[in-house]
C-alpha cells in the first residue's frame, strides 16, 4: 500500500529499532516498523489468528515472545497472558522492553535473539508451551543464521509445544498475487498505476524470503522430528495476500 511514511521502514534492523523505540516523534506502530494504517483496527484480528494457531492461553503455561516490540499488539498479548495466569518471557532490545508493562508473570530479557548471551539465559530456564515470533523473521533473516535460529528455537519447545513464526513476507507469494487479476488491480491502486504486468514481477534477491526458504525450514524441522506447516493468514489481516505463517509443533 502507498504510504508516504513507509520508506523509513525499508532496510532496517535491530539497531534501527532500538533508535525507533527512543524516538518520541514516532507512534507505537512506527516504532515497530509499521505505518499506523497497517496496524490500527487489526490488532484484535491478529490476536485471534495467533490463538487459532497456537491455542488460547491457559493457566500456568510458559510463553516466549521473540521481538514483541512495543505496540498495542504486544501489550494486549501480555495482558492476555497475565489474565490467564500464564508466564510470558519477552526478548527484545532494552529500549523496546522499557516501553512494555512490568507485570507479575512477565520476564524481560534484553538482547538480540538468538545471540549466545540470550541463549545462555534461556537454556537454563523452563521450556515453553508457546513461542511467538510475529512480523520479525524478515529482520532475523538478514542479521542471523536462519538454521541456527530455527534449531535453537525448536529446542526451547516443550513436548506438545507450538512455535508460530508469523507474518512472513514471502516474495514468491507476492509475485503470484500481483500476477493475478485481483493483484493487478491492487497494484494499480496502492503501488503504481503506471507499471505494466511485467513490471509488477520483482526478482527475488538474497535479502528476500521466498518459497524456497520457507519450504527449506519446513523440511529442516521435520527432519528434526518436529511437525511443521506453512499456514495462511486470516484474510482479515492487512497483508494476508502476500504474507504467511509457519507453524511448528513438537510431538
* Residue 6's pLDDT band (cuts 50, 70, 90): low
Residue found by looking up cell 494486549 in the block: 76
Q: Which three cell numbers stand for residue 170?
A: 514471502
184/90: higher pLDDT: 90
Neighbours of 229 (CB within 10 A): 13
Q: Of all residues in the chain, what percent carry a pLDDT higher than 90? A: 74
Domain 43-170+209-249 adopts which CATH fold?
Rossmann fold (3.40.50)
Report how far residue 124's alpha carbon sits from residue 33's, in angstroms, rounded to the nearest whole number.
32
Flag whether pLDDT at 40 surpasses 50.
yes
Cα torsion at 61, 232, 30, 72 (round to 10°)?
-30
**Beta-sheet pairing, 157-169 with 106-110:** unpaired
pTM given for the model: 0.91
Residue 238 pLDDT level (bands cut at 50, 70, 90): confident
Q: Which of 144-148, 156-160, 192-196, 215-219 is predicted with the least confidence, judged by mean pLDDT?
A: 192-196
Model confidence at 160: pLDDT above 60? yes
In 3-state terms, what secondary structure has residue 158? strand
State how far the alpha carbon of 164 is from the alpha carbons of 10, 100, 123, 137, 192, in Å: 24, 21, 19, 11, 33
> pLDDT band for position 2 (50/70/90)?
very low
Amino acid at each position: 500500500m502507498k504510504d508516504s511514511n513507509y520508506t523509513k521502514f525499508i532496510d532496517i534492523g535491530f539497531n534501527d529499532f532500538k533508535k525507533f523505540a527512543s524516538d518520541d516523534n514516532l507512534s507505537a506502530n512506527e516504532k515497530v516498523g509499521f505505518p499506523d494504517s497497517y496496524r490500527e483496527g487489526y490488532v484484535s484480528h491478529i490476536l485471534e489468528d495467533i490463538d487459532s494457531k497456537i491455542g488460547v492461553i491457559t493457566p500456568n503455561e510458559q510463553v516466549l515472545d521473540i521481538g514483541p516490540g512495543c505496540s498495542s499488539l504486544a501489550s494486549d498479548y501480555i495482558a492476555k497472558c497475565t489474565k490467564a495466569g500464564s508466564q510470558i518471557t519477552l526478548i527484545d532490545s532494552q529500549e523496546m522492553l522499557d516501553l512494555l508493562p512490568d507485570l507479575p508473570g512477565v520476564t524481560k530479557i534484553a538482547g538480540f535473539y538468538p545471540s549466545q548471551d540470550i541463549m545462555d539465559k534461556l537454556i537454563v530456564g523452563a521450556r515453553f508451551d508457546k513461542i511467538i515470533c510475529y512480523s520479525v523473521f524478515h529482520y532475523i533473516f538478514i542479521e542471523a543464521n536462519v538454521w541456527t535460529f530455527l534449531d535453537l528455537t525448536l529446542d526451547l519447545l516443550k513436548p506438545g509445544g507450538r512455535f508460530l513464526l508469523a507474518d512472513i513476507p514471502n516474495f514468491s507469494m507476492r509475485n503470484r498475487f500481483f500476477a493475478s487479476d485481483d493483484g493487478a488491480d491492487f497494484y494499480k491502486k496502492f503501488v503504481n498505476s503506471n507499471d505494466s504486468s511485467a513490471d509488477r514481477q520483482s526478482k527475488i534477491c538474497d535479502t528476500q524470503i521466498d518459497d524456497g526458504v520457507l519450504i527449506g525450514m519446513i523440511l529442516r524441522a521435520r527432519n528434526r522430528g518436529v511437525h511443521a506447516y506453512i499456514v495462511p493468514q486470516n484474510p482479515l489481516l492487512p497483508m494476508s495476500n502476500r504474507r504467511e505463517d509457519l507453524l511448528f509443533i513438537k510431538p
